[in-house]
Amino acid sequence: MSLDEFKAACHSLSTDGPALIAAAADQDAWASVRNMLVGRTSGRLSSIMATLAKLPPDTRREAGQLANTVKVELERLLDEKQIALAAAAPSAVAFDRSMPARATWRGSLHPVTIVIDEIAAIFRELGFTIALGPEAESEWYNFTALNFPADHPAMELHDTLYLEGGGLLRTHTSPVQVRTLQKYAPPVRILAPGNVYRRDFFDATHSPMFAQIEGLAVDEGINFADLKATLTHFAHRFYGATRRTRFRPSFFPFTEPSAEMDVEVDLGDGRGLRWVEIMGCGLVHPAVLTGAGVDSERYTGWAFGMGPARIAQSRYGIPDCRVLFDSDVRFLGQFAV
Amino acid sequence: MKISHDWLRAFVPHTLSPNALGDLLSAHVATVDAVAPLRADLAPFVVARVVESEKIPDTKLSFNKVDDGSGELLEVVCGAPNVVVGTLYPFARTGTVMPAGITIEKRKIRGFTSNGMLCSARELGLGTDHDGILALTVDVPVGTPLLTAMPIGDTQIELDVLPNRPDLLSHYGVAREVAALTGVNTVLPDEIQNLPAMPSAKSGASTTMAGDITISVEDLAGCPRYVAVRISGVKVGPSPEWLAERVVSVGSRSINNVVDATNYILHAFGQPVHAFDAAKLAKTAIVVRKAKAGETLVTLDGVERKLESWMTIIADGERATALAGVMGGRGSEVTEHTTDILLEVALFNPRDVRKVRRALNISTDASYRFERGVDVTRTDWMAAQAAGLIVAVAGGAITGVADVGAALPLPAPVTLRVDRLTKLLGASVPEEDVERLLAAIGFTVEPSAHRSYAVQPPSWRHDVTHEVDLVEEVARLRGFDLLPDALGSSRPGTVPDHALFIVGNRVRDALVGAGLAEARPMPFTKGGDSEVYARVANPLADDEPFLRRTLLDTLARRAEYNLNRQQGNVRLFEVGSAFIPDGKGLPREEVRAAVLVMGASRPPHFTDAKPPAFDAWDVKAIAELIARSAFPGERIALVAAESEPTLWTVYAGDLEVGTVSRVALDAPVWAAPAFGVEITLGVMSSAPVTARADEATGAAALAQHHVRFVPLPTTPAAEFDLALLVPNEMPAAEVERVIRAGSGAMLEQVTLFDEFRGTGVPDGKRSLAWRLTFRHPERTLRDKEIDGRRSQLLKTLETELGVVPRTA
């Protein structure tokens, strides 16, 4: 056999094939057409391929490529035809692949956990680790060590739930700052997520318990510019690289200078970008460092605190915070993986 | 704190718009929560044009066609004589509420329909002019809101003043900041320039006379300074319009000229001032003292207060007549008949005021400021302003002034090192800026040795006590936004991830993978006994004052919540804290993972229309999943519990870590049975940290279990099944133990794969079937060896347990 004869056979197959495939009226016809064209033992393609070995060696490569092109095209047409046949006569199909999968239940993380995880992931890239502390805390860790003046209006910023027999339910995650600084020498770079408590009625915008996430960096040479840089980096990662941030003066007994960070955020309510207060922050007050046994002349630090529940509410469009606590399976199921 | 934009401009004549001023304050001083026109009630009014107008015969009325921008002309009847076609007027559409309270409605007048009202200045509350409707000279499209079209009235700025800045609780205080930020100097408002002068005071260490009234301060700790001004012959009556406007502009009500004048001083300068009716003071005396046991006082709000002996009060010659720094008494209140006044301008101890305010639960503008701290040196100056203003607006004459006690010392000077400032801000601030900015807000800045300053805070800044406080002043006045924010490099920290964070996340991920939904409910519970439950001492509601001992307590209530909403498929989990009272002190806090499941154990499918409900075996698996995730490398065992509802006790190694149980719920009849798992992951210590952790401790917390690789088999396995008749009371685990012990080293796996009761199985027994897999590490096992092992094992089972194979 010559190369030309081989080519002619291929050409003939590539001319006849598509017409035969198109003419197949049902699955049975399709199967016999497939056998005739590309069947492994008696198909026309196989017969052609069998002649390949008889060709002059220097032409085999070209011939093989040609035959393969024909094969690929025919198989493509066969697949398309099969799908078309299946769609055209579903009732005739024993194996109806339009039917649903045998699924397992889909689990879900709570939206507040999703937000905490995402915040943590961004800070973990910057070398932050996770510290935790107790929710039932002493007044010393919750207030005294954080430079809250005793019997001062500053205490009114935190409406506190006290425990019988002493202690309280922590009003913020900031006690973890003190515990960490007491236990580990600088450099310290931690995040402390957790539940905190306030003496608030449970309504659409308040809850006696909510999640908070604290950040703390203490080392030599930590300064306000570093704080701004880190938190702005966070905002860009979390909300988008083009979001603007701004810092405004604020007051927390345990930071000085203190600031609020606003980010220009689109809350998805059709009102476009607007400034939203995201977190409180500031340089760690030297009294806090000294109280925790850190040399406040040598080491400086910054800290921040933010509310992942509020962030989750705005991100997912949840108007009433109570649904975060109700544990309605229909709500939680909306966050299924 | 409500700031009137007009009043503020009387103190500092800046040229910023209210919104621009709000932005400036937010960026440098304190957060502005709102900038709102004082006349928000005018918001619904729009600018409209009269397009046609004709007189209605035999009346003063006109019938007009008005274009209010709505797209169609409105028919409006107007009673004013001055309607001019083509002119713009303020227009109230139907439904608009007028400042006087009347709602404009569609109505028929003389056969003509009227759809709204063209308004006069008086109808809008913009003065008394009632000559006709108010022609507007603005150039805006019709339909523009009136408030947008033209400046009307004052603007109120709501400033969120935090507890460290009581100096911002007055217009003058805010004006100082605006002056520093804009470079415009502060002035005294026109209305209080050229006030009648106050004669010089009679001073006294603890007692002196204010005219005919003896002023004594017995409690100098509670009241370091008391300035009293005696004013005779006042005429109490309505305030002049400007004064009433000032008072109303900060959200107060105009009461009378004397009370309004005291409120003016409070909002202008932050100094609370109280006026007594001097004629009502017994024995013409004022005594500042502690209350006597059993003493009572009816305060201005009409409530009779029981006084405690630690409370500082103002008394006359006989009885208590005011709560120092909090509220006056009804008995000495200034009324329309008052002609003689004793004006009190004093310093009260912040902590004492706070204590009284909290004990009696009355917060006033005065207590709010005294608690946070007022200007400590200018009490006499404030008194002069207050007395002068009263005489100016209510007449009379000042007949005596007493100044008892002394001004408090200025706050202590603070050192500011330039290098420290640079170090903390991460940017150098020119020294002239430091000096200029601090001086602008009243600090005295003296250059001192080694590139530092001795900085004297002013009498109104008690919050500046540390060098960092000055750093904040400089930073905020320059603007935080001016500081650089390039991300630099940082050293890794020394703190390892908390072990409970790692474990908690592992458990969370495993449970989500198992199809469960995470809940984050609150830990409050009905509880019961304070011995058993930790209790909140001051709960807001009494129904759930306790903290839970178990997470399942909470999850059970959450399951009931779902059942109440017809949700019977509940698969909840939580990783959270349980609180166990620990004798004295804080409760022991255990971080646990808990699961509650009930209903379909998998979603329905057309091959499996009614999937089975969760049963004990499903939850046993979930418990194993949690335990394996939480305690990798530990031997996990679930031991049958003595009695229900607990089904199994979970062990990790030798440690009892939790339980699997049936959960009793308040459930409807259609609900499937509920099962729970609760496993303690670890204790969250609340003990004080006593020692630095060395690095080894940190590393130990991170210790991980590593799997040891076992070489893959190169020889085939051999297996056989054992179907055994096991008495019902004999645990399968017991049989399996004997199988394992009697099978030798080549046993690779034992799997219990069947339980059967019925035909061919005697009563009191069940057939249990195990598959045993054997493998020799080096060669293929011969059939003979396997058979031999099988008969040997059956013999052992019979001898040790009396268990025989099932024959049929």
Q: What is the pLDDT of residues B27-52, one digit of tens each?
A: 999 999 999 888 888 888 999 999 99
Write down the pLDDT at residue B698: 41
Write down the pLDDT at residue B58: 85
Are A185 and A49 found together in one domain? no
State what percent of residues in chain B have pLDDT above 70: 98
Write the CB contacts of A76 (distance below 8 Å, at least 6 apart in sequence): none
Write down the pLDDT at residue B582: 85
**Closest by Cα among A201, A216, A209, A214 to A135:** A209
**Closest by Cα among B546, B561, B801 to B666:** B561
- The answer to the question of residue A103 being in a domain is no
Single residue among B135, B170, B187 that ends a domain in this structure: B187
Calpha distance B530→B550 (Å, rounded): 15
Is residue B152 within 8 Å of residue B41, measured between CB atoms? Answer: no
- The answer to the question of residue B394 being in a domain is yes
- The answer to the question of residue B172 being in a domain is yes
- The nearest alpha carbon in chain A to B546 belongs to A163
Write down the pLDDT at residue B187: 96
- The answer to the question of residue A106 being in a domain is no
Write down the pLDDT at residue A85: 81
Calpha distance A106→A118 (Å, rounded): 20
Write down the pLDDT at residue A31: 85
Write down the pLDDT at residue A7: 85
Does B86 have pLDDT greater than 70?
yes
Average pLDDT, chain B: 92
User: What is the domain count for chain A?
Assistant: 2
Task: Indicate the pairing of strand B570-580 with strand B517-518.
Answer: parallel
- CB-based contact (8 Å) between A99 and chain B? yes
Are A77 and A197 found together in one domain? no
- The answer to the question of residue A72 being in a domain is yes
Does A108 have pLDDT greater than 80?
yes
**Closest by Cα among B545, B544, B549 to B532:** B549
Task: Write the pLDDT tens digit of every residue in A176-193.
Answer: 999 999 999 999 999 999
Task: Indicate the pairing of strand B320-323 with strand B312-315.
Answer: antiparallel
Is residue B146 within 8 Å of residue B137, measured between CB atoms? Answer: no
B342 backbone φψ class: left, alpha, beta (φ>0; ψ -120 to 50): beta
Beta bridge partners of B75: B65
Are A122 and A88 found together in one domain? no
Are B302 and B345 found together in one domain? yes
- What 3-state DSSP class applies to B409? coil
Window 274-303 of A, Cβ < 8 Å to B: 283, 285-287, 293, 300
Q: What is the DSSP letter of A157?
A: G
Task: Write the pLDDT tens digit of every residue in B736-774.
Answer: 999 999 998 899 999 999 999 988 899 999 999 999 999
- The answer to the question of residue A102 being in a domain is no
User: What is the domain count for chain B?
Assistant: 6
**CA dihedral defined by B110, B111, B113, B119, rounded to 10 degrees?**
-10
Task: Write the pLDDT tens digit of every residue in B492-516.
Answer: 999 999 999 999 999 999 999 999 9
Q: How sure is the predictor about B529, in pLDDT bands with cuts at 50, 70 and 90?
A: confident
What is the CA B703 to chain-centroid distance, rounded? 39
Does B130 have pLDDT greater than 70?
no
Write down the pLDDT at residue A38: 85
Q: For residue B344, give how far its alpha carbon lies from the nearest alpha carbon of chain A (Å).
A: 24
In whole angstroms, how far apart are CA B614 and each of A75, B18, B510, B623, B674?
Answer: 48, 64, 18, 13, 8
* Residue B738 host element (H or E): helix B732-741
B202 backbone φψ class: left, alpha, beta (φ>0; ψ -120 to 50): beta
Are B399 and B273 found together in one domain? yes
Are A323 and A177 found together in one domain? yes
Give the CA angle between residues B239, B242, B246 to the nearest 5°: 95
> Inter-chain contact A130–B355, Cβ cutoff 8 Å?
no
Nearest to A257 among B165, B475, B605 (CB): B475
Write down the pLDDT at residue B808: 57
**Closest by Cα among B236, B379, B217 to B312:** B217
State what percent of residues in chain A have pLDDT above 90: 63
Tell me how far apart the terminal alpha carbons of chain B are, to the nearest angstrom: 91
Write down the pLDDT at residue B699: 41
Q: For residue B166, give how far its alpha carbon lies from the nearest alpha carbon of chain A (Å).
A: 10
- What 3-state DSSP class applies to B243? helix
Q: How sure is the predictor about B700, in pLDDT bands with cuts at 50, 70 and 90?
A: very low
Is residue B741 within 8 Å of residue B772, measured between CB atoms? Answer: no
Single residue among B84, B119, B149 that ends a domain in this structure: B149
Average pLDDT, chain A: 91
Task: Write the pLDDT tens digit of every residue in B555-577.
Answer: 999 999 999 999 999 999 999 99
Are A142 and A43 found together in one domain? no
Write down the pLDDT at residue B59: 87
> Inter-chain contact A246–B523, Cβ cutoff 8 Å?
no
- The answer to the question of residue A99 being in a domain is no
Beta bridge partners of A247: A261
- What 3-state DSSP class applies to B341? strand
Are B640 and B565 found together in one domain? yes
In B619-687, which ranges are E strands? 636-640, 646-652, 655-663, 674-683
Are B642 and B574 found together in one domain? yes
Are B119 and B164 found together in one domain? no
Are A125 and A63 found together in one domain? no
Task: Write the pLDDT tens digit of every residue in B399-409.
Answer: 999 999 998 99
Query: Of the ranges A312-316, B54-58, B302-306, B347-351, which one carries the lowest mean pLDDT score?
Result: B54-58
**Closest by Cα among B761, B769, B772 to B732:** B769
Does B701 have pLDDT greater than 50?
no
Is residue B261 within 8 Å of residue B393, measured between CB atoms? Answer: yes
Calpha distance B511→A105 (Å, rounded): 11
> Inter-chain contact A136–B524, Cβ cutoff 8 Å?
no
Are B372 and B250 found together in one domain? yes
Is residue B267 within 8 Å of residue B250, measured between CB atoms? Answer: yes
- The answer to the question of residue B334 being in a domain is yes
Which of B480, B525, B591 should we substitute to test contact with A (largest number of A Cβ atoms within 10 Å)? B480
**CA dihedral defined by B543, B544, B549, B550, rounded to 10 degrees?**
90
Does A239 have pLDDT greater than 50?
yes
Structural domain of B638: 499-683
* CB contact burial B427-457 (16+ within 10 A = b; e otherwise): eebeeeebbebbeebbbebeeeeeebbebbb
In B177-334, which ranges are E strands? 202-204, 207-210, 213-217, 225-232, 274-277, 285-290, 296-298, 304-306, 312-315, 320-323, 327-328
Does A90 have pLDDT greater than 70?
no
Single residue among A40, A57, A92 that ends a domain in this structure: A92
CATH of the domain at B340: 3.50.40.10
Does B703 have pLDDT greater than 60?
no
Window 163-222 of A, Cβ < 8 Å to B: 163-167, 169, 179-180, 182-190, 195, 199-201, 207-209, 211, 217, 219, 221
Single residue among A92, A126, A152 that ends a domain in this structure: A92
Q: What is the DSSP letter of A268?
A: S
Task: Write the pLDDT tens digit of every residue in B653-687.
Answer: 999 999 999 999 999 999 999 999 999 999 999 99
Tokens at B49, concatenated: 């044009």
Are A57 and A119 found together in one domain? no
Is residue B196 within 8 Å of residue B365, measured between CB atoms? Answer: no
* Crossing angle between the packed helical segments A3-23 and A27-38, to the nearest 10 degrees: 180
Are A58 and A156 found together in one domain? no
Structural domain of A212: 111-335
Give contacts of B508 with chain A, Cβ < 8 Å: 109, 113
- The answer to the question of residue B486 being in a domain is no
Write down the pLDDT at residue A79: 87
**Closest by Cα among B115, B137, B134 to B124:** B134
What amino acid occupies position B364? T
Write down the pLDDT at residue B614: 98
ipTM beyond 0.90? no
Average pLDDT over residues B185-213: 92
Nearest to A251 among B162, B537, B691 (CB): B162
Are B433 and B356 found together in one domain? no
Give the CA angle between residues A327, A330, A331 to the nearest 5°: 60
- The answer to the question of residue A105 being in a domain is no
* CB contact burial B602-638 (16+ within 10 A = b; e otherwise): ebeeeeeeeeebbeeebbbebbbbbbbbbbeebebbb
Write down the pLDDT at residue A49: 82
- The answer to the question of residue A16 being in a domain is yes
**Closest by Cα among B574, B565, B564, B598 to B523:** B574
Are A197 and A317 found together in one domain? yes
- The answer to the question of residue A101 being in a domain is no
- The answer to the question of residue B488 being in a domain is no
- The answer to the question of residue B299 being in a domain is yes
- What 3-state DSSP class applies to B437? helix
Average pLDDT over residues B19-29: 95
CATH of the domain at B786: 3.30.70.380
Are A199 and A328 found together in one domain? yes
- CB-based contact (8 Å) between A223 and chain B? yes
Are B621 and B732 found together in one domain? no
Is residue B604 within 8 Å of residue B611, measured between CB atoms? Answer: yes
In whole angstroms, how far apart are CA B204 and each of A187, A281, B225, B284, B349?
Answer: 58, 48, 10, 17, 19
Are B384 and B293 found together in one domain? yes
- The answer to the question of residue B11 being in a domain is yes
Write the secondary structure of B678-704 as one string of H (helix), E (strand) and C (coil): EEEEEECCCCCCCCCCCHHHHHHHCCC
- The answer to the question of residue B782 being in a domain is yes
Does B697 have pLDDT greater than 60?
no
Single residue among B357, B373, B405 that ends a domain in this structure: B405
Average pLDDT over residues B250-276: 95
CATH of the domain at A184: 3.30.930.10
Are A161 and A258 found together in one domain? yes
Is residue B705 within 8 Å of residue B776, measured between CB atoms? Answer: no
Number of Cα atoms under 13 Å in the Cβ half of residue A283? 29
Long-range CB pairs of B380-383 (<8 Å, 24+ gap) are B380/B201, B380/B227, B380/B345, B382/B227, B382/B265, B382/B269, B382/B271, B382/B273, B382/B345, B383/B198, B383/B227, B383/B229, B383/B273, B383/B343, B383/B345
Are A206 and A140 found together in one domain? yes
Write down the pLDDT at residue B128: 66
Is residue A192 within 8 Å of residue A116, measured between CB atoms? Answer: no
- What 3-state DSSP class applies to A243? coil
- The nearest alpha carbon in chain B to A188 belongs to B493
Window 19-78 of A, Cβ < 8 Å to B: none
Are B368 and B248 found together in one domain? yes
Q: Does the bond joining B272 to the residue before it have cis omega, within 30 degrees of 0?
A: no
Does A156 have pLDDT greater than 90?
no
Across the A/B interface, how many CB contacts are shorter than 8 Å? 297
Calpha distance B404→A19 (Å, rounded): 115
Are B250 and B335 found together in one domain? yes
Beta bridge partners of B228: B344, B402
Average pLDDT over residues B339-360: 95
Which of B417, B463, B478, B501 should we substitute to test contact with A (largest number of A Cβ atoms within 10 Å)? B501
Are B395 and B442 found together in one domain? no
Single residue among A92, A124, A147 that ends a domain in this structure: A92
Write down the pLDDT at residue A292: 95
Give contacts of B498 with chain A, Cβ < 8 Å: 130-132
